[in-house]
Structure 1
């Protein structure tokens, strides 16, 4: 971010679609440094402490996460859709000292935790002077905690380091052909790896532009994909969201003239569905990832390659080491089933407060 602020300061880095606010790379870098000042001098945040959020997508959350990272604090975005008891359990587990929220809290924050509305934090950032620059924390220190959905038990906090996030940005960026001219529409929730990391980090790493919306709406997203003024080149969603796009009256893929591809993950995507999208002139690029590993696999974006392997999750990302092994840990032969073993810099160091499950 700081490099782009120096080399292409006037390029648009981020647009908050709900408010229309826009940041150049220079302005975004300055906002992050002001946010560091708010966290440090206004709230006494220290390295290693957790900052939690209960809020819908906004550019303010992106600024907050980057400021927390520069300070050495840990950003913990909670799923605001959860029941109150589930939120309280996660807050008890991560033990934050600051909680940002965009609607009235339905429960008291944990003991020792300050709470502040996102709007108040934004106002404080705008009034704050930039904090002095300092060396960044170690790249292998915890930077983000993303809680899993808890499908196999109670939610686990996946630790994400900046080394992990950078590797995911490289992995998806290479597979998805994200570059300096890319415009990435993000309306996947920013409490999920797809929203917070996969949709934001690749374009910002490359000096592209990210458009942050408060959330998915089939009609609004259809219109944004067709809007030449926005020029969306990349969009990531789960297959269910793609189905809602095609079922909406405003679905007009012939107008998605800037789009490189729709990228999907998070659920199976049948070959017949992918072929249907190809017939509409839209490349649907499926892949596989995990909160614990970021982007793992991805299809090539060429239409003929997609058609010939529709239904496949694709090829291993560049920093991913992948083996398929049998019960004894031996590599299986081509075409044989087995268990996937992963390695590489995108793999989490573990679960927060769960050494036995790590």
Structure 2
């Protein structure tokens, strides 16, 4: 086993256990899920929370708080409450955060839909999650209507680029959250269902809890230096954990500002990164956008001096990309995660990026990992095995998939399905997919 902070091997006596139990305060129970938006609206109402460049709109924490309450009131008018699902099929926009916080306030669950999927692929997800409401933007109106015809969706609500007379904005204007009774939620309650790519079969809906969101904010917020003065540019789809949770949610948790682009464009992204009026301090992407930007003619002249941290994940980052950005004064912070881990669990400090090329780093503060062989025994340095992770940021399982959930876990350990090794300094390297391994001549072989 290896971890940034291994658990202490401590076995308390039965008397000590009894003492700890009886000394708990009255009413002690699961940890309450706190409302970050409500906190910031009360303490920094005029602070900018979201800057939506796709529609040229800006929202303070007070604005976002009012919108979340109004949308929660609209949910209530449709009979949507605790445990009910609300699906989203839309390009990036402030509406993702409206919906997330409205779901949190009603106890409902947000189902994020990948707009790259076909209607037939989305039909499976809709039937699996059974949302009462599908919120979609105008570009997906045909798909939404077809899905309503094919599946049991009670209501549709269309987003139209922030136009005051759009169905979505009218719903916010007409609804009221004044009488809203906010759901009493704990860290164990589900806030989001994110469907995995289905590389091992049909997509599975990973359940993301309020606690997972919180611990991801802590896990990422500390090494990324996220705070009230953070201004994060998000280009990744907000239906994906990379867009929503690296670093958008951690920034909102800290009271910073999230800047949203509707979709990625290399020239536009470089322009925003270099614009002092935007003041971008944080950025995250998969390797491809970094490559596209470094190949753009504006890359050499863009002022990147305000960037404090640029994260990269989702795939191995090529040395050429690392070196090109390092030459521009930007050290890329690599990491490893997956939808089921909310997503961050391993992080490579930018200072080690070039020294440990190919490594995803070490365990984040509130995550443990093991690398195990076929028999579940811990591997030694540089021995390849399957990566297992544990911690409060790990999914409780898959929606409607008890067998898949049971198969994914060994006790409290989530089996990632990734083949990995750890060097003698404790740095982790992802080798391949463990499930792609085959045996030849008694040796593990990776295609």
TM-score (norm 1): 0.95
C-alpha deviation, 1:253, in angstroms? 6.0
The residue correspondences of 1:76-225 to structure 2 (distance < 5 A) are 76-102=111-137, 103=139, 104-106=141-143, 107-109=146-148, 110-119=151-160, 120-131=167-178, 132-225=180-273
Partner of 2:348: 299
Aligned-pair Cα RMSD in Å: 1.5
C-alpha distance after superposition, 1:71-106 (max 9, x if no partner):
010101101111111011111111111001112223
Give the 5 Å matches for 1:249-260: 249-252=297-300, 254-260=302-308
Single out whichever of 305-314 and 185-194 deviates more from structure 2.
305-314
Shift in Å, 1:246: 1.1
Q: Which aligned runs of 4 or more in structure 1 are off by greater than 4 angstroms?
A: none
Cα displacement (A) at 1:49: 0.8
Q: 1:266 to 1:253 in 2, by over 3 A?
A: farther
What does residue 248 of structure 1 align with?
296
Deviations 1:288-317 (A, max 9, x none): 110001101111133xx3222232111211
* Structure 1, gaps ≥5 residues long: none
**Distance (Å, rounded) in 1 between the aligned partners of 2:239 and 2:203:** 13
Superposition deviation, residue 197 in structure 1: 2.0
Distance change >3 Å, CA 301–CA 324, structure 1 → 2: same
Q: Contact 2:294/2:325 (CA < 8 Å) preserved in 1?
A: no
Match of 1:333 among 376, 380, 386: 380
27-36 or 92-101, which deviates more: 27-36
Size of the alignment, in residue pairs? Answer: 355
C-alpha offsets along residues 246-274 of structure 1, whole Å, 9 cap, x if unaligned?
11223246501211122111111133431
- Structure 1 CA distance for aligned equivalents of residues 106 and 337 of structure 2: 28
Map of 1:342 onto structure 2: 389
Q: Whose radius of gyration is greater, 1 or 2?
A: 2
SS in 2 for 1:307: coil
1:282 match: 330
CA–CA distance in 2 between the matches of 1:249 and 1:161? 43
2:10 maps to 1:13:
no
Whole-angstrom CA distance in 2 between matches of 1:329 and 1:299: 26
Kept in 2, the 8 Å contact 1:274–1:311? The answer is: no
Contact 1:98 1:115 in 2 (8 A): yes
Range that drifts further, 205-214 or 321-330: 321-330
Return the offset for 1:189.
0.4
Partner of 2:89: 54
Give, in whole Å, the separation in 2 of the partners of 1:207 and 1:126: 25
Partner-residue secondary structure (3-state), 1:352: coil
Task: Give the CA deviation at 1:245.
Answer: 1.1
Distance 2:63 2:225 in 1: 26
- Supply the distance in 2 between the matched residues of 1:289 and 1:214 (Cα, whole angstroms): 24
Aligned mates of 1:62, 1:246 — CA distance in 2:
30
CA contact (8 A) 1:145 1:159 kept: yes
> Which region of structure 1 is more displaced relative to structure 2, 67-76 or 6-15?
6-15
Unaligned runs of 5+ in 2: 1-36, 161-166, 406-447
97-106 or 287-296: which moved more? Answer: 97-106
1:66 and 1:162, CA in 2 relative to 1: closer, same or farther beyond 3 A? same
Give the Cα–Cα distance (whole angstroms) in 1 for the partners of residues 97 and 177 of structure 2: 17
